Amino acid sequence: MSFELSREHEEFRRSVRDFAQAEIAPHVAQWDRDHHFPVDVVQKMGALGLFGLTAPEEFGGAGIAPEDGPFTSLCLAIEELGRVDQSIGITLEAGVGLGINPILTFGNDEQKAQWLPDLVAGQRLAGFGLTEPGAGSDAGATATKAVLDGGEWVVNGAKQFITNSGSAITSLVTVTARTGVRENGKPEISTIIVPSGTPGFTAEPGYDKLGWHISDTHPLTFTDARVSEANLLGERGRGYAQFLATLDDGRVAISALAVGLLQACVELCTTYALERQTMGGPIGRKQGVAFQIADLEVMLHASRLLTYRAAAMKDAMAAGGGPSVAEFKQAASVAKLYTSESAVTATRIATQVFGGYGFMEEYPVARFYRDAKILEIGEGTSEVQRMLIARGLGLPVE
């Protein structure tokens, strides 16, 4: 399996980089200060085709053949957006991975026809309601319930930390909920589409977050929210398996976001180390600084290779060959663990290279420092990744 990018992938990368530099970079510091979600830029991303990279042409997507690497294209787009701003990168990652893909993968023809065209066009967004106040990595502890009543699901419960769930262009949230009890006594978890504006469904005020200030993130409450029985996404009782598959892909996409951050740290530190003068010369001539930047470059290359490898495995599977599902899951967890922890380390090093200026919000490294930590938490914490990797090796870890 080769991880060299094709000419088409490289050209696509440059087009996204040009877009990010022109449409995002000049404004991102102010958006971050204002906690502003730029709907117009998100919709321009849609016009560029970024939300449709993994979707077929019938829904307005790019229709990229699996052998041509649609998932790799998505990861490249997330990387290039994340190089300029992590919040914009996660908006695309969640919009596709958590919004579009569950409907594209598990939805029926009617659901796809109803929701996908606007989502794929980037005119609307969707969220994925999994995490709860008492259930995160332990999804089996889901407390949200959905009960059938007269041909409708009645949903009650709460979700938290849900991306793209309360913006002005959010059209729906897919929600995991208990819909019964299995014969073994464990909860039956299903996934239900709850459109925005449904009576009883409330996106509460957005969080005051440490980072990702531009990203749209809300807690959600459901109080006798009624939706059609036809809003069941996929097979009843398969919600747990559906979200596991969704998170596997998401871990690789988060890795791509981390790679973008690492690339930014290398570029910012190199430029600063050449420009910043002290004791008669640039600080980059000091081994103490130069060696730290060299370490960043090593982490960047290793992270990029791990991410591209996992993305290539996903595309190969979609093409009907390549690795097994277990091999892909292992590669996804390895990539996510290494890249996210490297990104946190990289922002700490970058802030140190910048010295006192790194502590000032006028410099991008301060924003990247704040944004990095969530990469070790979202789409499965570092602890969860270590557990999954160990299990993949055959260790009976709990």
Which residues have a catalytic role annotated?
A: 379
Tokens in use for 356?
A: 């006192």
Looking at residue 324, its amino acid is: S
The CB density around residue 146, as the number of other CB atoms within 10 Å, is 28
CA distances from 246 to 61, 151, 169, 198, 239 (A): 19, 28, 22, 25, 10
Residue whose C-alpha is closest to residue 241's, from 281, 275, 190: 190
Q: Are 39 and 169 in contact (CB under 8 A)?
A: yes
Q: How far apart are CA 191 and CA 142, in angstroms?
A: 12
Q: What is the DSSP-derived secondary structure letter of residue 323?
A: S
Residue with tokens 């991306």: 163
Query: What's the CA gap between 358 and 337, in Å, rounded?
Result: 26
Q: Which of the 8 DSSP states describes residue 123?
A: S
CB atoms within 10 A of CB 34: 10
Strands 170-181 and 217-228: unpaired
Closest CA to 225 of 188, 205, 196: 196
Alpha helices in the chain (DSSP H): 7-19, 28-34, 39-47, 70-84, 86-94, 101-106, 109-120, 239-275, 287-318, 325-354, 364-372, 382-392
φ, ψ of residue 217 in degrees (nearest 5): -140, 130
Distance of CA 154 to the CA centre of its chain: 29
DSSP 191: E
What 3-state class would DSSP assign to 158?
strand
The one-letter code for the residue type at 173 is: V
Residue 168, Cβ neighbours under 10 Å: how many?
Answer: 11
